[in-house]
C-alpha cells in the first residue's frame, strides 16, 4: 500500500490504513519526541497522542505537504502544550529582595475532592464495563496495573504496535461512551 492510498483509505475510516500509517511513521515520530524529551515514557505517550489527534483530524490533512511533516508538527505542538502546562503548575514568587522562595500550589485533595474522585472512578469503571472484554483488559493493564506497552505485549502475546492501536481504539470507544452519558 502506498502512503497516498493509505491516507485516502484512512479518510474513509479504514482501520488497515490507520495501522499501515501508524506502522510506517511510528518510529519517526517517536524518535523526534525522544530527542525532545529525553524520556522514553513521555516520548511514547506524546507519540500516541499524536497519532490519536492525527487520526481524529485526518480529513483536515492537506496533501500538498508530506504526511510525516504534518505528524511531526502535531507532535511538536502537543509537546509544547505539555511544557506550558508544567510551567504553569509551579509559580516562582518573591516576597522581599532578600527572601526568595517558591510558592508551590497545594494540589492535595480536600475531603470533597476525594468523594468526587471516588464517584467519578465508580462511574468510569461502569463505563469501562460497557466495552468489549479485550478492550477492558487492555485498559486495565495500562491504567490500573500500570504496565508498559512492552509488558502488555508480553501478557497478551501480541506485537507492541497492535497493543498501541488496540489501546488507542479502546480510549476512543471509552471517550464516546463517556460523552454519551
pLDDT digits (tens, 9 = 90+) for 71-86: 999 999 999 998 888 8
45 or 94, which is more confident? 45
Q: Name the class of domain 108-180.
A: mainly alpha
Smallest CA-to-CA distance from 1 within 132, 43, 18 is with 18
Convert the pLDDT of each residue in 25-75 to its tens digit.
999 999 999 999 999 999 999 999 999 999 999 999 988 889 999 999 999
- Whole-prediction pTM value? 0.53
For 171: left if phi > 0, alpha if psi spans -120 to 50, otherwise beta; the answer is: alpha
Q: What three-state secondary structure class fits 61?
A: coil
- pLDDT over 70, % of the chain: 90
3-88 folds as: Rna Polymerase Sigma Factor; Chain: A (1.10.1740)
Structural domain boundaries of the chain? 3-88, 108-180
> What pLDDT, on a 0 to 100 scale, did the predictor assign at position 69?
94
- Residue 95 is classified by DSSP as S
Amino acid at each position: 500500500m502506498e502512503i497516498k492510498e493509505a491516507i485516502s483509505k484512512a479518510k474513509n475510516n479504514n482501520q488497515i490504513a490507520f495501522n499501515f500509517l501508524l506502522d510506517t511513521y511510528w518510529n519517526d515520530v517517536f524518535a523526534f519526541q525522544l530527542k525532545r524529551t529525553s524520556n522514553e515514557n513521555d516520548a511514547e505517550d506524546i507519540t500516541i497522542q499524536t497519532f490519536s489527534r492525527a487520526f481524529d483530524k485526518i480529513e483536515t490533512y492537506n496533501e500538498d505537504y508530506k504526511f510525516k511533516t504534518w505528524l511531526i508538527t502535531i507532535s511538536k505542538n502537543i509537546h509544547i502544550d505539555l511544557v506550558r502546562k508544567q510551567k504553569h503548575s509551579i509559580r516562582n514568587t518573591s516576597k522581599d529582595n532578600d527572601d526568595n522562595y517558591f510558592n508551590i500550589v497545594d494540589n492535595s485533595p480536600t475531603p470533597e475532592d476525594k468523594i468526587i474522585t471516588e464517584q467519578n472512578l465508580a462511574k468510569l469503571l461502569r463505563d469501562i464495563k460497557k466495552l468489549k472484554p479485550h478492550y477492558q483488559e487492555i485498559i486495565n493493564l495500562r491504567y490500573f496495573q500500570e504496565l508498559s506497552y512492552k509488558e502488555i505485549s508480553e501478557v497478551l502475546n501480541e506485537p507492541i504496535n497492535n497493543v498501541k492501536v488496540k489501546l488507542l481504539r479502546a480510549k476512543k470507544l471509552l471517550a464516546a461512551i463517556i460523552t454519551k452519558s
